[in-house]
Structure 1
Amino acid sequence: MAAHWQALLFLAVVFAAVSLASATQWMVGDGGGWRAQFNKTGWADGKTFRVGDTLMFMYPAGNHTVIQVDKEDFAACNVETNSKLGAWYSGNDVVPLNKPGKMWFFCSVEGHCNNGMKLVINVVGDGAAPAPAPVEPASPPSSAPAMGYTVGGAVAVAGAVLASVLAF
């Protein structure tokens, strides 16, 4: 009977891992990070952002910020906005994508937004078409780490362990 409960507990862990398998951590700007004239890079082009993913904004703390605003304040680069939906300042900021829809971000340091340090993404919810693999930059620096990744490998390992348990 104990083995039965252990197998059920293991299956619960596997199903939890499967739900994580679709989550992607996106390093905004890839190896270049969150930087001036960011909007001119086309970084978000061709990427599918999903509920459960996260955006990682990396930049020298004190040099930039990440402010989430509405569409109108984004278009106007309104840094004096009262409609801030989020604000991050650490230089190592992780923003969860927890609902579908458009999200608008910019740097609130004077002149940075008007100089193109802004990002708009569309987050899709459940039931959307499968996400393509994250797109690597055409010629990343040799020291650049992988920028978009999933935890699908953990699911493969969990599946192999599950097969072993069921065969036992």
Structure 2
Amino acid sequence: MALATQSPANSASYSASLLDAAKANRRAYCIRNPLGLCEIAHAKSYVVGDMKGWTFFVDSWPKGKRFRAGDVLVFKYLPTAHNVVKVNHLGYRTCTVPRGSYITRTGNDHIRLVKGNNYFICNLPGHCVNAMRIAVYAS
């Protein structure tokens, strides 16, 4: 996630940063630092599985993509057919849901990546074992 410090005095630069973010398919966020200056963070959104969405055999989708902490994964699916569960490495490897895991079921779930490894599965019977899971590393 790239950061650029902005003050009220250079608001034209702030607007240009927002425009550049839009052109790069990244969202820009103003985060106030302790000095009251605006730090602009750019985050890109990715639709998991691209046109197919969150479905079976999606496990290879992250290959070749570069993710950053703060980027957003968008999981699109039929909510009566699937879900998304953020799990740890063991949950990913074994297709199990550890206690306290974050579960979403809207069919249009937006999940922000944290720095390091991020693991997601569908925990409905037979789904994860049929490659409905992804592992994403965010730098």
TM-score by length of 1: 0.61
2:136 to 108, 121, 128: 121
Q: Which residue of structure 2 aligns with residue 82 of structure 1?
A: 99
Greater strand share, 1 or 2?
A: 2
The alignment status of 1:30 with 2:50, answered yes or no, reads yes
Q: Which residue of structure 2 aligns with residue 94 of structure 1?
A: 110
Aligned residues: 115
Rounded Cα–Cα distance in structure 2 between residues aligned with 1:15 and 1:59: 33
> Larger RCO: Structure 1 or Structure 2 (Cα < 8 Å, ≥ 6 residues apart)?
1
Which runs of structure 1 show a deviation greater than 2 angstroms over 4 or more consecutive aligned residues? 6-23
Distance verdict in 2 for CA 1:58–1:14, change over 3 Å: same
2:120 counterpart SS class: strand
TM-score by length of 2: 0.72
Rounded Cα–Cα distance in structure 2 between residues aligned with 1:120 and 1:66: 13
Q: What percent identity do the matched residue pairs reach?
A: 31
Rounded Cα–Cα distance in structure 2 between residues aligned with 1:104 and 1:72: 10
Q: Which residue of structure 1 aligns with residue 3 of structure 2?
A: none
The alignment status of 1:44 with 2:74, answered yes or no, reads no
Rounded Cα–Cα distance in structure 1 between residues aligned with 2:18 and 2:58: 36
Q: Which residue of structure 2 aligns with residue 53 of structure 1?
A: 71
Distance verdict in 2 for CA 1:13–1:116, change over 3 Å: same
Rounded Cα–Cα distance in structure 2 between residues aligned with 1:24 and 1:8: 24
1:68 counterpart SS class: strand
Cα deviation code 1:69-109 (max 9, x no counterpart): 11011111113x2041x221100011112x31001100011
Distance verdict in 2 for CA 1:109–1:60, change over 3 Å: same
The answer as to whether partners of 1:50 and 1:100 remain within 8 angstroms in 2 is yes
Distance verdict in 2 for CA 1:56–1:100, change over 3 Å: same
Return the offset for 1:12: 3.7
2:81 to 43, 63, 78: 63
Greater helix share, 1 or 2?
A: 1
Gaps of 5+ in 2: 1-7, 22-27, 29-40
